[in-house]
């Protein structure tokens, strides 16, 4: 049994485990909320929409988190405009 626990004695493995647990808790909570609101495709579209922001930030030598945040903000504004100007639902826009 010692061989199974040995990798978790390293600091980076412990941080990775906690990061994975935190990501799983957040993703399951947000995912359930999106499905209940009828916006099941929103999460997938949102993640794919921030990839260009991350890529642009890497090319411009900026923190990728900033690029993702800017792309997310642009997406939110665009989605709001589409929802207000058309008859499309939340999940479609």
Q: How far apart are CA 40 and CA 74, in angstroms?
A: 20
Q: Annotate the chain with DSSP letters as a single string.
A: -HHHHGGGGSHHHHHHHHHHHHHHHHHHHHHHHHHHTT-TTHHHHHHHHHHHHHHHHHHTTS-HHHHHHHHHHHHHHHHHHHHHHSS--TTT-
Kindly list the domain boundaries of the chain, sorted by start residue.
1-36, 38-93
Predicted TM-score of the model (pTM): 0.62
Tell me phi and psi for residue 45, to 5 degrees.
Answer: -65, -40
Q: What are 15-52's pLDDT values in tens digits?
A: 999 999 999 999 889 888 888 887 777 778 888 889 99
Tokens of 58: 């890497």
Q: How many CB atoms lie within 10 A of CB 38?
A: 11
Q: What are 45-81's pLDDT values in tens digits?
A: 888 889 999 999 999 999 999 999 999 999 889 888 8
pLDDT at 51: 93
């Amino acid at each position: 049994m010692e061989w199974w626990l040995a990798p978790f004695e390293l600091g980076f493995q412990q941080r990775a485990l906690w990061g994975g647990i935190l990501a799983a808790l957040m993703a399951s909570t947000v995912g359930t909320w999106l499905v209940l609101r009828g916006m099941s495709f929103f999460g997938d579209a949102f993640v794919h929409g921030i990839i260009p922001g991350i890529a642009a930030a890497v090319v411009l030598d900026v923190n990728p988190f900033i690029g993702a945040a800017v792309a997310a903000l642009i997406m939110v504004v665009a989605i709001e405009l589409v929802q207000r100007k058309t008859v499309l639902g939340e999940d479609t826009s």
